[in-house]
């Protein structure tokens, strides 16, 4: 990709957050921008109002798009790579990239990129917080919420970016100085088709790394370690268990770091303010990334101990009379639920379900049977989850979040927890996972008002 976009004719496919960011950036750089989206102007009312006047709109469908009119196209993450218009563009020889790739061509600051099926947002934010505590100016963005385009032109010491498999579909030259792969478990198979293709996309984060870069990988994740990387790129490993080549792992209550052939306790697991073994892994990965770029161990330790996590990720929203209410709405695939339940032993009333992403629910059902004292099922996947649970009882269905919280709370005694950890997408009942989590919080407050 050229870095000179002045006068170039660009098609933006999808006017969501990243599409809007790419549009504003390209207009600023002098490009001639057209946006196309399947939704109408009324449905896109707020984003349309934010657009520069010179932008051309093709809304309500892509039928009138003439692909030969464009030099290249930028695809939003929410638009499937194999759908009709992107396929026509590629077949017609029109270069198609993601907003992530576009922004990368215009950024000179060192990039730390994080991908994985679960834990990306927590790890991305934690790395950013450690770097800030180190006194650096940091941009935190990507799939986490603020598009990478927002960093273009900024004076940053580091850019920490969460990267999704959707964004990696449109990457050509994107090269992070430090690339982290947290884990790979089945997710988004409704879009990517096969597990092999999904794995290939995740591993592609390392494809453009060269001498001077660093790869960070979870040594306990079989898919993540099954990759031949550039031999000039050193690989650093983290794991909950001590294996052959880890730089950081867990022994008892201690996170142990290998530095200069000496073993150093970095932090106590019991000091963490984030819940569950999966969050311990996130803290290990973030610590290793910070150490790679030169952060001193005291800064890392202090930043990790004060980090309280993100909303919708095992977020404690209330505790009354010894009963805890956790919002884990971001658990949108079965493996995320399995990891969240690992911290419980028959003392959790679970709320699960939603829109399936062609997931295999059997492993998730096994974790429910082992850890839950009861399960409330919601959404389109309720029947499928009910079947996967087999003879397990109690299990009930709820039509909305208020009913789900009320049913789950009936099973709880002091020391128990009500946990929303759906294992599914949210779009059958809610706008997104944030909306689902907010509705859970409101339902908890409503229940506690009734109970109190």
Q: Is the pLDDT of residue 186 over 90?
A: no
Note whether 137 and 275 are same-domain residues.
Answer: yes
Q: Is the pLDDT of residue 70 over 60?
A: yes
CATH code of the domain containing 227: 3.40.1190.10
- What confidence category does residue 185 fall into, taking pLDDT thresholds of 50, 70 and 90? confident
Note whether 436 and 371 are same-domain residues.
Answer: yes
> What is the rounded average pLDDT of the residues 301-314?
92
Q: What is the pLDDT of residue 452?
A: 44
Burial of 197 (0-12, 13-18, 19+ CB in 10 A): middle
Nearest one of 237, 276, 272, 236 to 254, comparing CA atoms: 272
**Is residue 330 domain-resident?**
yes
Note whether 407 and 268 are same-domain residues.
Answer: no
**Is residue 86 domain-resident?**
yes
Burial of 90 (0-12, 13-18, 19+ CB in 10 A): middle
- pTM comes to 0.86
Q: Is the pLDDT of residue 39 over 70?
A: yes
- What confidence category does residue 450 fall into, taking pLDDT thresholds of 50, 70 and 90? low
**Is residue 2 domain-resident?**
no
Residue 228 DSSP label: -
- What confidence category does residue 275 fall into, taking pLDDT thresholds of 50, 70 and 90? confident
CATH code of the domain containing 27: 3.40.50.720
Question: End of a domain among 71, 98, 125?
Answer: 98
Note whether 338 and 236 are same-domain residues.
Answer: no
Q: What is the pLDDT of residue 145?
A: 81
CATH code of the domain containing 419: 3.90.190.20
pLDDT in tens, 340-368: 998 788 999 999 999 999 999 999 999 99
Q: What is the pLDDT of residue 345?
A: 84
Cis check for the bond before 274: say yes or no (omega within 30 of 0): no
Q: Is the pLDDT of residue 1 over 60?
A: no
Classify strands 178-181 and 95-98 as parallel, antiparallel or unpaired.
unpaired
pLDDT in tens, 104-138: 999 999 999 999 999 999 999 999 999 999 999 99
pLDDT in tens, 290-305: 999 999 999 999 999 9
Question: End of a domain among 42, 67, 98?
Answer: 98
Residue 382's SS3 state is helix
Question: End of a domain among 78, 98, 118?
Answer: 98
Kindly state the percentage of the chain with pLDDT values over 90: 80
Note whether 166 and 267 are same-domain residues.
Answer: yes
Note whether 222 and 115 are same-domain residues.
Answer: yes
Average pLDDT, the chain: 93
> What is the rounded average pLDDT of the residues 252-271?
91
Residue 424 DSSP label: S
> What is the rounded average pLDDT of the residues 433-443?
96
Note whether 347 and 399 are same-domain residues.
Answer: yes
d(CA 227, CA 206): 9
Note whether 172 and 269 are same-domain residues.
Answer: yes
**Is residue 4 domain-resident?**
no
Q: What is the pLDDT of residue 223?
A: 86
What letters, b where the CB count within 10 A reaches 16 and e where it falls short, cover 28-52?
ebebbbbbbbbbeeeebeebbeebe
Total domains, the chain: 3
pLDDT in tens, 188-209: 778 787 988 999 999 999 999 9
Q: Which domain holds residue 86?
A: 9-98
Q: Is the pLDDT of residue 390 over 90?
A: yes
Q: What is the pLDDT of residue 244?
A: 60
**Is residue 138 domain-resident?**
yes
**Is residue 1 domain-resident?**
no
- Kindly provide the residue ranges of all beta strands, DSSP E only, lying in 189-301, ordered along the sequence: 214-218, 235-238, 246-251, 254-259, 262-268
Q: Is the pLDDT of residue 451 over 60?
A: no
Q: Which residue has the higher pLDDT, 350 or 224?
A: 350
Note whether 441 and 295 are same-domain residues.
Answer: no
Note whether 152 and 29 are same-domain residues.
Answer: no
Note whether 321 and 227 are same-domain residues.
Answer: no
Mean pLDDT check: name the lowest of 169-173, 274-278, 403-407: 274-278
Nearest one of 296, 280, 288, 278 to 258, comparing CA atoms: 288
pLDDT in tens, 150-164: 999 999 999 999 999
Please give the angle made by the CA atoms of 338, 336 and 382, to the nearest 5 degrees: 80
**Is residue 3 domain-resident?**
no
Note whether 195 and 294 are same-domain residues.
Answer: yes
Q: Is the pLDDT of residue 241 over 50?
A: yes
> What is the rounded average pLDDT of the residues 387-409?
97
> What is the rounded average pLDDT of the residues 305-319?
91
**Is residue 403 domain-resident?**
yes
């Amino acid at each position: 990709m050229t870095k000179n976009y002045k006068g170039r004719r660009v098609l933006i496919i999808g006017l969501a957050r990243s599409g809007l960011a790419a549009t504003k950036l390209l207009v600023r750089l002098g490009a001639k921008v057209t946006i196309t989206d399947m939704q109408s102007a009324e449905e896109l009312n707020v984003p349309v109002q934010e657009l520069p006047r010179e932008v051309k709109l093709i809304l309500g469908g892509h039928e009138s798009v003439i692909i030969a009119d464009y030099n290249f196209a930028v695809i939003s993450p929410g638009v499937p790579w194999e759908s009709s218009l992107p396929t026509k563009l590629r077949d017609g020889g029109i270069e198609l990239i993601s907003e992530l790739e576009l922004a990368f061509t215009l950024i000179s600051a060192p990039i730390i990129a994080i991908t994985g099926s679960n834990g990306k947002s927590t790890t991305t934010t934690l790395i950013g917080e450690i770097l800030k505590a180190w006194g650096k100016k940091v941009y935190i963005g990507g799939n986490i919420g603020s598009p990478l385009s927002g960093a273009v032109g900024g004076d940053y010491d580091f850019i920490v970016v969460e990267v999704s498999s959707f964004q990696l579909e449109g990457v050509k030259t994107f090269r992070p100085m430090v690339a982290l792969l947290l884990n790979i478990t089945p997710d988004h198979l409704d879009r990517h088709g096969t597990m092999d293709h999904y794995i290939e996309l995740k591993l592609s984060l390392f494809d453009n790394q060269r001498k001077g870069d660093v790869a960070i990988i979870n040594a306990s994740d079989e898919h993540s370690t099954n990759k031949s990387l550039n031999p000039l790129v050193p690989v650093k490993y983290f794991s909950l268990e001590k294996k052959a080549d880890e730089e950081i792992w867990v022994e008892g209550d201690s996170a142990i770091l290998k530095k200069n052939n000496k073993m150093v306790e970095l932090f106590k697991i019991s000091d963490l303010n984030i819940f569950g073994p999966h969050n311990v892994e996130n803290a290990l990965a973030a610590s290793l990334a910070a150490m790679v770029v030169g952060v001193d161990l005291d800064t890392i330790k202090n930043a990790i101990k004060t980090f309280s996590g993100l909303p919708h990720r095992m977020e404690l929203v209330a505790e009354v009379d010894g009963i805890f209410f956790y919002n884990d709405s971001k658990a949108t695939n079965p493996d995320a639920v399995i990891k969240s339940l690992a911290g419980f032993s028959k003392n959790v009333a679970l709320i699960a379900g939603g829109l399936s992403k062609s997931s295999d629910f059997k492993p998730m059902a096994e974790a429910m049977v082992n850890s839950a004292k009861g399960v409330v099922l919601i959404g389109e996947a309720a029947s499928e989850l009910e079947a996967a649970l087999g003879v397990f009882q109690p299990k009930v269905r709820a039509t909305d979040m208020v009913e789900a919280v009320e049913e789950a709370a009936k099973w709880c005694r002091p020391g128990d927890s009500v946990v929303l950890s759906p294992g599914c997408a949210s779009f059958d009942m809610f706008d997104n996972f944030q909306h689902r989590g907010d509705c859970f919080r409101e339902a908890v407050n409503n229940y506690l008002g009734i109970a109190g």
